[in-house]
Amino acid sequence: MKKLLALLLSIVLVFSLVACGENTADNTDNTENTVVETKPKTEINITKDEVQKIINGEFTAPKNVIIIIGDGMGPNDITLAEQKLDSVYDFGLVLNQIKNTGFVTTRSASDDITDSAAAATALATGTKTTNGYIGVDPSGNELLNITEIARQMGKKVGIVTDDKLSGATPSAFTTHNISRDNTSELISSIIKTKADVFMGEGYNNVFGPIDSEARAILDNEYVVAKDFKSFDTALDSDPNNQKKFLGIIDKYSSVASDHLALATQVALDRLQNENGFFLMIEGCGTDKFGQNNNINGKLNSVVTLDRTVAAVLKFMKENPDTLLIVTSDHDTGGAKLPKGDESLSSLLTTKEHTATDVRVFAVGKGSEYFASKTVDNTDVAKFLIAAVKGE
């Protein structure tokens, strides 16, 4: 019934847009910032009832621990995506259905405004560091990260991003380096950590800069899919899940997309095992489009992330021994909420990161810890690490 109503409304909308002709120019400032009005199809179908049932279900001690990070996703990005976009679910964002939600402070050891390297180090290790540093403290000492701890606990590890695999966030969740800019060192050392699942964008971003030792690991121990279309064929060659998997996925997109959710479903399938797993998923359009002052791309990237949350919740329906945390490393763009008929394109106030607290959403046993309060990004890490350790 709702779908029929939405269809009728969109028909009315199309006719009224046609009827208004040039008069619509005032709310469509330029092509980059024009909000897509037609509801894009998604394969990640979920209803409000289903979401509610999953969120309010009985959870057991988490064997599987998942963090989804919207890079640069500020609190107002989430509010605006629900208010302004037709590409959200009929009931709005899945994220906004989650009841255990609070805020996270993000400052780094060196600056009020963190960069992605220091923020991801804090989220992965529970220790603050200097901007630019990857998995090391301000003195350069290596910090034990959550994927290393998961390994010690006998769990599988997955890293999924629609950015480069050598980006600051996947780097800080896997490896250690004094600089986020040492790309070839980073990607080689990331591969050498031998996560059970790696997914990132750009085949050449992995195979271009790696050293011979990392190359040999990929050749001998991994099934490699060069793009999402070849996932099935590649995985058919390893039906018993005996090898590790590197999948190249589609890059972040300015249009609300299923790419990250579908990749996540494959990752969940590969990672499931009796000892559990730790999975980090990063969607980076919320950062990249913030840097380009493209609010339409930014808000659509919130929807891309939201569909990924839906995919994980559907997994949790069958696997209540799973904990999910959704948060951001920092805000990018400083989006403000509109006053009156203020146009969407004027709402981003900067192309830089800001010091704004970000949101956190939690589902699973113990997730009420986050309800209606503000914690630090190192507290998020400590909570996740305790869960991985079974404490």
Question: Could you tell me the smallest distance in angstroms from the CB atom of residue 330 to Zn ion?
Answer: 6
Q: Choose among 62, 145, 74: nearest CA to 337.
A: 74
d(CA 265, CA 287) in angstroms, rounded, equals: 23
Q: Choose among 259, 58, 287: nearest CA to 167.
A: 287
**Annotated catalytic residue within 87, 108, 116, 254:** 116
Hey, which bits of 212-259 come out as E strands?
222-225, 244-249
Q: For residues 331 and 379, which CB has a smaller minimum distance to Zn ion in the complex?
A: 331
Determine the straight-line distance between the first and last CA of the chain, rounded to whole angstroms. Answer: 46
71 binds Zn ion (CB under 5 A): yes
For residues 258-287, which are near Zn ion according to CB under 5 A?
287
Q: Choose among 380, 366, 289: nearest CA to 326.
A: 380
**Residue nearest Zn ion by beta-carbon distance:** 116
d(CA 273, CA 229) in angstroms, rounded, equals: 25
Sheet (strand 277-283) strand order? 222-225, 244-249, 197-201, 156-161, 277-283, 64-70, 322-327, 358-363, 100-105, 374-376
Q: For residues 173 and 245, which CB has a smaller minimum distance to Zn ion in the complex?
A: 173
| 100-119 footprint of Zn ion as x/- string (CB under 5 A) | ----------------x---
Question: Could you tell me the smallest distance in angstroms from the CB atom of residue 71 to Zn ion?
Answer: 4
3-state class (DSSP) for residue 277: strand
Burial of 80 (0-12, 13-18, 19+ CB in 10 A): buried
| 297-336 footprint of Zn ion as x/- string (CB under 5 A) | --------------------------------x-------
Separation of CA 319 from chain center: 20
Question: Could you tell me the smallest distance in angstroms from the CB atom of residue 289 to Zn ion?
Answer: 12
Q: Which stretch binds Zn ion (CB under 5 A): 71-79, 91-99, 344-352, 375-383?
A: 71-79
346 annotated active-site: no
Question: Could you tell me the smallest distance in angstroms from the CB atom of residue 65 to Zn ion?
Answer: 21
Q: For residues 265 and 328, which CB has a smaller minimum distance to Zn ion in the complex?
A: 328
Question: Could you tell me the smallest distance in angstroms from the CB atom of residue 245 to Zn ion?
Answer: 25
Q: For residues 129 and 265, which CB has a smaller minimum distance to Zn ion in the complex?
A: 129
Separation of CA 320 from chain center: 21
Q: For residues 128 and 314, which CB has a smaller minimum distance to Zn ion in the complex?
A: 128
d(CA 171, CA 365) in angstroms, rounded, equals: 28
Q: For residues 185 and 287, which CB has a smaller minimum distance to Zn ion in the complex?
A: 287
For residues 115-154, which are near Zn ion according to CB under 5 A?
116
Would residue 146 be called left, alpha or beta, if left means φ above 0 and alpha means ψ between -120 and 50 degrees?
alpha
Q: Which stretch binds Zn ion (CB under 5 A): 64-72, 77-85, 312-320, 380-388?
A: 64-72
Q: Which stretch binds Zn ion (CB under 5 A): 6-14, 65-73, 336-344, 376-384?
A: 65-73
d(CA 220, CA 336) in angstroms, rounded, equals: 50
Question: Could you tell me the smallest distance in angstroms from the CB atom of residue 69 to Zn ion?
Answer: 8
Q: What is the contact surface with Zn ion in residues (CB under 5 A)?
A: 71, 116, 287, 329
Positions annotated as catalytic residues are 116
